[in-house]
Amino acid sequence: MVVNSINFWVFFAVFLIPYFFLFRKMMHQNIWLLLASLFFYGWVDWKMVPLLFVVSAFYFFLGIKIEKSNQTSPKKASLFTILGIVAGVGVLFYFKYFNFFVGEFSGLFSAIGIHVNSSDMDIIMPIGVSFFTFKVMSYVIEIHRENIKPTRNPVVFAAYVAFFPTILSGPIDRPTTFLPQFNERRKLDFCNLSEGLKRILWGLFLKMCIADIISSWTDAVFSGYGHHNATTIIAAAVLYTLQLYTDFCGFSEMAIGVGRIMGFTVTENFCRPFFSQNIAEYWRRWHMSLTTWITDYVFMPLNVAFRDWGRNGIFLATLINMVIIGMWHGANWTFFWFGVYHGLMLILIILFEKQRKKMEKKYGLKKKESYIWFRRLLAFVLFAFGSMLFRSASVTDFIGMVKQVGQGFGPIYDEELPAIVVYVLPSVAVMLFREWVAEYKRDIHFFHSPNVYVRLASIALMISTIIYIGQLDGNSFIYFKF
């Protein structure tokens, strides 16, 4: 039951009617939200609902233990917190990485003549496990840091963990900002309804009019790269970067919109990343709920631990940070090297930061639009190159694609290309124009125009575009598999 399906909107409508009009007490709303979230998750993967129960119960009681120990025995509180982190990492490792390591060790043993039968060790990964485990780990860490008090209401905590708009693909909401929102009854608010529907509409446009149309073309190129030349492979890298962004940002927009209608403020996940001037800025604008989570709970502690090593400590913390971000996406060596690649890019930025600033000051480059757009283009090229590695099925495939680029340019693969040229490129232009308006704070408004006729015309045009060119039977979201 994906967010851009008829099933979801029927489910959401059925959920909203009693949520707003039948349940007059906050407690009843929270219970209904929890039941709806469990039903939603069970619809996707009912076998994993018990896991969600166990994880929620474990961290609910662990949070209370940590708070009590903070007052009586800080050492014990630290041990409980470590237990929470180890348990979260353990759940992730077992469901997400165990098969990978079993396969790698089996291959290693086979190479030295020892046969290992690993066929009975296959484990099904629960959808959303990367997201809800990060939620619960941040919960116990924040309690240990005394930034929040643990909730004594198991329904509220379970509803936070299983919150259906975000459980499958985020954003990753922090307990410090999200849990307090359960403490008052949510009312149907016209502003929330209007803004939520606009966010949902924009998300549907990104997903159905850009990402889903691109996907069949990029899939064909990446799966059969050996038949393509540099022209097609470079185009595929660029288009896949756009596909990845519009797919995931589209889901985030819809999740934020659904949450807004329900009376919740969900964490923002993207902030116009294609206007970034380097890779570091990309990561401050891309999948922000993940990057800030890793920065707060991994990079900063590592930075403190390695501070005696000076800049080398910063470099090591940065590299570990990015490798974790890479591997968070899945059990594949491509994600490991994706993290290494971005870690090295960030280290290079730190290494040459002083020289760059000195050059900018000397030649007065900082405010020159040509220089700014050159940096943006370079950052996009570097990010798109990393996206090739992210998308490749294996490191061997990635190396093969790079070699194909080295074979030279030629005619572009034109299967389904007319649809991309006719439909996708204008849609991308609309997306970039909207983001340009926001980035440069231009006084141009469509969805939010003070003129009611402009608003209605913009919304009608967007709906018509989705109906006319949108892939109504499009693919599931890319980040569902993470």
Does 39 share its domain with 169?
Answer: yes
Query: Per the residue annotation, which of 144, 228, 287, 329 is the catalytic one?
Result: 329
- The one-letter code for the residue type at 111 is A
Does 42 share its domain with 157?
Answer: yes
Range(s) of the domain holding residue 168:
6-188
Q: 410, 441, 463 — which closes off a domain?
A: 410
* 401 falls within a domain: yes
What would the 3-class secondary structure string for 414-480 be? Answer: CCCHHHHHHHHHHHHHHHHHHHHHHHCCCCCCCCCCCCHHHHHHHHHHHHHHHHHHCCCCCCCCHHH
List pLDDT tens digits, range 59-72. Answer: 999 999 999 999 99
Residue 102 pLDDT: 74
CA torsion angle 260 262 263 268 (round to 10): -30
- Interatomic CA distance for residues 410 and 412, integer angstroms: 6
List pLDDT tens digits, range 245-281. Answer: 999 999 999 999 999 999 999 999 999 999 999 999 9
Does 433 share its domain with 405?
Answer: no
- Interatomic CA distance for residues 289 and 173, integer angstroms: 7
- Cα(first)–Cα(last) distance of the chain, in Å? 17
- Interatomic CA distance for residues 85 and 143, integer angstroms: 13
Does 359 share its domain with 433?
Answer: no
Does 176 share its domain with 197?
Answer: no
* 255 falls within a domain: yes
Q: Is the dihedral of CA 366, 367, 373, 374 positive or negative?
A: negative
Nearest to 206 by CA among 452, 471, 453: 471
Does 376 share its domain with 424?
Answer: no
Residue 115 pLDDT: 66
* 50 falls within a domain: yes
Does 286 share its domain with 404?
Answer: yes
Residues contacting 249, CB < 8 A, separation 6+: 203, 206, 269, 270
Does 144 share its domain with 107?
Answer: yes
Does 105 share its domain with 142?
Answer: yes
Does 142 share its domain with 44?
Answer: yes
Residue 309 pLDDT: 94
Residue 5 pLDDT: 84
Residue 16 pLDDT: 97
Q: What would the two tokens of residue 297 be?
A: 């709970």
- The one-letter code for the residue type at 359 is M
Does 416 share its domain with 406?
Answer: no
Residue 305 pLDDT: 93
Q: 363, 388, 410 — which closes off a domain?
A: 410
144 classed as catalytic: no
* Domain count for the chain: 3
What would the 3-class secondary structure string for the chain be? Answer: CCCCCHHHHHHHHHHHHHHHHCCCCHHHHHHHHHHHHHHHHHHHHHHHHHHHHHHHHHHHHHHHHHHHHHHHCHHHHHHHHHHHHHHHHHHHHHHHHHHHHHHHHHHHHHHCCCCCCCHHHCCCCCCCHHHHHHHHHHHHHHHHCCCCCCCCCHHHHHHHHHCCCCCCCCCCCCHHHHHHHHHCCCCCCHHHHHHHHHHHHHHHHHHHHHHHHHHHHHHHHHHCHHHCCHHHHHHHHHHHHHHHHHHHHHHHHHHHHHHHHHCCCCCCCCCCHHHCCCHHHHHHHCCHHHHHHHHHHHHHHHHHHCHHHCHHHHHHHHHHHHHHHHHHCCCCHHHHHHHHHHHHHHHHHHHCHHHHHHHHHHHCCCCCHHHHHHHHHHHHHHHHHHHHHHHCCCHHHHHHHHHHHHCCCCCCCCCCHHHHHHHHHHHHHHHHHHHHHHHCCCCCCCCCCCCHHHHHHHHHHHHHHHHHHCCCCCCCCHHHHC
* 161 falls within a domain: yes
Residue in this structure with the two tokens 């608010």, named with its chain if needed? 189
* 1 falls within a domain: no
* 234 falls within a domain: no
- Interatomic CA distance for residues 334 and 388, integer angstroms: 10
Q: 410, 440, 469 — which closes off a domain?
A: 410
Does 346 share its domain with 287?
Answer: yes
Q: Is the dihedral of CA 253, 259, 263, 264 positive or negative?
A: negative
* 237 falls within a domain: no
303: how many CB neighbours lie within 10 A of its CB? Answer: 16
Name the stretches of the chain with pLDDT < 50: none
* 236 falls within a domain: no
